[in-house]
Amino acid sequence: MQTTALALAVLGAALLLGGLLSGLDRRLTARLQSRQGPPFTQPFFDVIKLLAKERMVTNPWQAFSPLATLSAAACALLLFAWQGDLLVILFVHMAGGVFLVLGAMASPSPYSQIAGQRELWQMLCCETLLFVMAGALYLTTGSFRVSGAAALGEPLLYRLPLLFAAFLLALTVKMRKSPFDLAGCHHAHQELVRGVFTEYVGPHLGLLEIAHWLEVVLYLAICSLFWATGPWGMILLPLTAFLAVIVLDNVSARLTWRWMLGWGWGAAFVLSAVNLFWLKG
């Protein structure tokens, strides 16, 4: 009973935080574009409205994929809260991304098909980089467990500064922000309508939105590992990274997938490799 109550409390707090971060994102983006913007609580009203709509799907995968994506995001977040193995957390989360791609590819829509392919390219760049980060955590702390970062005694950022810079690229991809919002985003400039979310409506789209909230919270939690020696650092560093991604989104144009591979994979892995060689030296 205690474990169940703790899990519900963690997920409830993550949902509240994820919705507020989404509202902050919208409000800051609007201000950067000289607009008033919606209230901070608008994402909650939007999701409630979506969940209340009629269920409509063109194939069974579009009903199953949102549930699988949300479940994977929730499980990964709970594993992180319980100080679990970072490799397991990343594998569980990656499974949710796979189901998102399967749902998109199951639709005959060309927008959804192309976006599913782009999502795979983004996963290739992002997930591989995150596994390199898990390896760096092991080399630094001697363990893949999340608790190892707090037991180090000094901020992980001091030993992995270049890897942190590469992680910001992965955070940009996962938040679906420019210049890496290739497979789907909330903005009108997306030529694929809404990319992987194009064919989803009503409650299924609402579940994917909630899954995205949990995903953002998870990645900001991973970001906090770079300064896990005190509560203020674990709050201020992810918040700074979150604000930096929003600013980058509003000052940069969207790149093609080839540019994403060059910058998101090439440049990020060069930074990661240099940092790992420096760490081993």
- Report the alpha-carbon distance of residue 156 to residue 172 in Å, rounded: 21
Asked if residue 13 belongs to a domain, the reply is no
State the pLDDT at residue 107. Answer: 78
Q: Are 55 and 103 in contact (CB under 8 A)?
A: no
Token code pair at residue 68? 């699988």
Whether 31 is covered by a domain: the verdict is no
Q: Measuring CA to CA, which residue among 27, 171, 141, 149 is closest to residue 80? A: 149
How many structural domains is the chain composed of? 1
Q: Provide the CA 227 distance to its chain's centre, in angstroms.
A: 19
**154-160: long-range contacts (C-beta < 8 A, 24 or more apart)?**
154/229, 155/226, 155/227, 155/228, 155/229, 155/233, 156/225, 156/226, 156/227, 156/228, 157/226, 157/227, 157/237, 159/279, 160/133, 160/136, 160/226, 160/275, 160/279
Average pLDDT rounded to a whole number, residues 168-189: 74
Mean pLDDT in residue range 21-41? 88
Which tens digit of pLDDT belongs to each residue from 72-107? 999 999 999 998 899 999 999 999 988 988 888 887
pLDDT at res. 193: 61
**Any idea what DSSP says for residue 83?**
T
Q: Does 16 map to a domain?
A: no
What is the share, in percent, of the chain residues with pLDDT greater than 90? Answer: 31
Residue 192: pLDDT over 70: no
Whether 4 is in a domain gets the answer no
Question: Residue 12 domain-assigned?
Answer: no
Highest mean pLDDT among 126-130, 198-202, 211-215: 211-215
Q: Which residues contact 87 (CB under 8 A, 6 or more apart)?
A: 131, 134, 144
Q: CA-CA distance, 96 to 100, in Å (whole number)?
A: 6
In a domain, residue 59? The reply is: yes
Average pLDDT, the chain: 84
Q: Which two tokens stand for residue 201?
A: 């409506």
142: left (phi over 0), alpha (psi -120 to 50) or beta: left
pTM (2 d.p.): 0.91
Cα–Cα distance, 202 to 121 (Å, whole number) = 27
Q: What is the mean pLDDT of residues 231-243?
A: 93
Residues facing residue 145 across a β-bridge: 85
Position 247 in a domain: yes
Please report the pLDDT score of residue 187 as a whole number: 59
Q: Which residue range(s) make up the domain with 189?
A: 55-280
Of 2-6, 60-64, 65-69, 211-215, the one with minimum mean pLDDT is 2-6
pLDDT given for residue 60 in this prediction: 80
* Range in 20-24, 110-114, 135-139 the model is least confident about: 110-114
- Please report, rounded to a whole number, the percentage of residues in the chain having pLDDT higher than 70: 90
Q: Where are the alpha helices (DSSP H) in the chain?
A: 2-32, 42-51, 61-81, 86-105, 110-141, 147-151, 161-174, 202-224, 231-251, 257-260, 268-280
Give a yes or no: residue 223 inside a domain: yes
Q: Taking 90 as the threshold, does the pLDDT of residue 243 lie above it?
A: yes
> In one letter, which amino acid is 195?
G
pLDDT above 90: residue 16: yes
Report, as an integer, the average pLDDT of 154-181. Answer: 85
Cα dist from 155 to 89, 110, 145, 231, whole Å: 21, 46, 16, 12
Our measurement of the distance from residue 123's CA atom to the centroid of its chain's CA atoms, rounded to an integer in Å, reads 11
